[in-house]
């Protein structure tokens, strides 16, 4: 029987031919045990493949110059030779059993680790023969697993060990994640064994991708969220400061403002409303109403945008989309024609959607502070001191092969009075119109 063509032929019954089998091109898949003539020779040419499909098969001489995939079955042959590839399923390894000589010189070995693999320690026998000659020219492995063949006069076995994840890390961020995983790798229990098993079977590029997903890169947007909400609130305050400087206590002014996340600057796109006085008539920019020292204001803010992905020596930072919205309100009291003191509070809600596996960061910022504005002869000086309480909820989606996990917990508690935990801002502004 000779197979030609590039397709797959499946033998689903016992073959009654008395001759041999030649696979010139395409795949011959054995759908049952003993699908081939046990006394016939089998030749696999360079473009051919014999797929044992986890069955048990017996043939005469096996000449492999293409691919023989034993899977999890046992392929028994009177002899073996050739310069092709043997393929095995390592999770339930098949075996090549040769009653005569197994000439391995020129043969490569490819291992299918499946979706997960944890080394068990003992060596795995893959070839037994009356006589083994030569050695495999190459043996496949993964970025995290080493495969070492050992030879005796009549057997070939494989020893599978661990390669540190750290060896694959390509930047400082990946190095930190890989170092931590290497420390817990051998003591992993529960679901962590599913994670390390899935990492073990990856090649270099997919493993680096997995390390990138595990690092909390989406949390880099926390600083951008803080800047967004801070700029949104302060832009509302500066409008109020300017209005006070023009001598207004009951004022209505409208504008829009957008925030450029690249330059971290705000430009007018927002709408603001401030009010002081007993009625809504006369809501305009005007000198202070006689006898009215109190002023009130409220400002609604909102923004949306997208940040493109970037790269530096620490690694790649994925792009993201962001939105925020909220309001700032306050009240102030004009002490005299020059000096006004007031207080403000605000609430900003933010959302970031990362381009990396749709990870998210949601923020709530509660802001408060006091301010003072002094103006005279066209000069304006203002000062503001305040604080904020920021609440963040994060969700990072991690996909490694067929394994999918989410990381939602993050401990942000750090030591007090350190650069990491204490962040202050101080500044002032003086203008003249």
Summarize pLDDT for 290-320 with one digit per residue, the tens.
457 888 888 887 778 888 887 776 667 788 8
Nearest to 269 by CA among 285, 255, 250: 255
* Residue 397 per-residue DSSP state: E
Pairing of strands 310-312, 294-307: unpaired
Looking at 251-265, 325-339, 381-395, which range is the least confident one? 251-265
Residue 352: half-sphere exposure toward Cβ, Cα within 13 Å: 31
Residue 81 CB neighbour total at 10 angstroms: 21
Q: Supply 85's token pair.
A: 């590839």
Mean pLDDT on 162-175: 92
Higher pLDDT: 264 or 50? It is 50
Distance, CA of 406 to CA of 397 (rounded, Å): 4
Query: How confident is the model at residue 422, as a pLDDT?
Result: 38
Q: If residue 244 lies in a helix (H) or strand (E), which one and from where to where?
A: helix 221-245
Question: Could you tell me if 113 and 143 are in contact, meaning their C-beta atoms sit under 8 angstroms apart?
Answer: no
Question: Could you tell me if 294 and 321 are in contact, meaning their C-beta atoms sit under 8 angstroms apart?
Answer: no
CB environment 386-405: b (16+ within 10 A), e (fewer): beeebebebbbbbebeebee
Three-state secondary-structure class, residue 90: coil
Higher pLDDT: 250 or 363? It is 363
Sorted by sequence, the CB contacts under 8 Å of residue 102 that are 6+ apart come out as: 79, 80, 96, 127, 129, 131, 132, 133, 156
The answer to whether residue 289 scores a pLDDT higher than 50 is: no
Three-state secondary-structure class, residue 424: coil
Higher pLDDT: 144 or 318? It is 144
Q: What pTM was computed for the model?
A: 0.67
Higher pLDDT: 262 or 133? It is 133
* Residue 289 per-residue DSSP state: P
Sorted by sequence, the CB contacts under 8 Å of residue 138 that are 6+ apart come out as: 108, 109
Three-state secondary-structure class, residue 339: strand
The answer to whether residue 241 scores a pLDDT higher than 50 is: yes
Query: How confident is the model at residue 245, as a pLDDT?
Result: 79
Mean pLDDT on 102-127: 92
The answer to whether residue 410 scores a pLDDT higher than 60 is: no
């Amino acid at each position: 029987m000779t197979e030609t063509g590039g397709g797959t032929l499946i033998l689903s019954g016992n073959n009654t031919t008395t001759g041999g089998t030649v696979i010139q091109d395409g795949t011959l898949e054995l759908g049952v045990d003993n699908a081939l003539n046990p006394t016939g020779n089998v030749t696999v040419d360079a473009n051919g493949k014999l797929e044992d499909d986890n069955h048990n098969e017996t043939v005469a001489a096996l000449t492999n110059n293409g691919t023989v995939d034993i899977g999890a079955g046992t392929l028994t042959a009177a002899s073996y030779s050739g310069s092709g590839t043997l393929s095995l399923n390592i999770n339930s390894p098949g075996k090549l059993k040769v009653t005569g000589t197994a000439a391995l010189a020129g043969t490569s070995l490819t291992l299918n680790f499946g979706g997960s693999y944890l080394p068990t320690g003992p060596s795995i026998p893959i070839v037994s023969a009356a006589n083994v000659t030569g050695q495999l020219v190459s043996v496949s492995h993964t970025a995290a697993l080493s495969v070492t063949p050992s030879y005796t006069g009549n057997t070939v076995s494989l020893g599978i060990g661990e390669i540190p994840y750290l060896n694959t890390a390509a930047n400082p961020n990946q190095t930190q994640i890989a170092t931590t995983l290497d420390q817990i790798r051998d003591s992993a229990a529960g679901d962590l064994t599913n994670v390390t098993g899935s990492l073990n079977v990856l090649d270099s590029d997919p493993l680096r991708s997995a390390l990138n997903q595990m690092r909390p890169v989406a949390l880099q947007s926390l600083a951008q969220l803080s800047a967004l909400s801070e700029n949104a609130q302060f832009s509302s305050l500066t409008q109020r400061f300017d209005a006070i400087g023009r001598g207004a206590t009951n004022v209505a002014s409208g504008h829009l403002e957008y925030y450029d996340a690249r330059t971290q600057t705000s430009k007018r796109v927002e709408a603001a409303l401030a009010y002081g006085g007993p009625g809504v008539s006369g809501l305009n920019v005007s000198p202070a109403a006689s006898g009215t020292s109190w002023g009130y204001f409220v400002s609604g803010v909102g923004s949306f945008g997208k940040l493109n992905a970037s790269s530096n020596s620490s690694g790649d930072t994925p792009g993201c989309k962001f939105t925020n919205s909220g309001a700032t309100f306050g009240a102030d009291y004009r002490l005299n024609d020059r000096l006004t003191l007031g207080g403000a509070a605000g609430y900003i809600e933010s959302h970031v959607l990362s381009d990396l596996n749709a990870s998210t960061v949601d923020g709530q910022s509660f802001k408060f502070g006091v301010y003072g504005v002094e103006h005279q002869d066209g000069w304006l000086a203002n000062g503001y001191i305040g604080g904020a309480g920021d609440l963040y909820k994060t969700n990072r989606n991690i996909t490694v092969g067929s394994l999918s996990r989410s990381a939602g917990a993050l401990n942000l508690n750090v030591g007090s009075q350190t650069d990491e935990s204490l962040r202050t801002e101080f500044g002032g502004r003086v203008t003249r119109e």
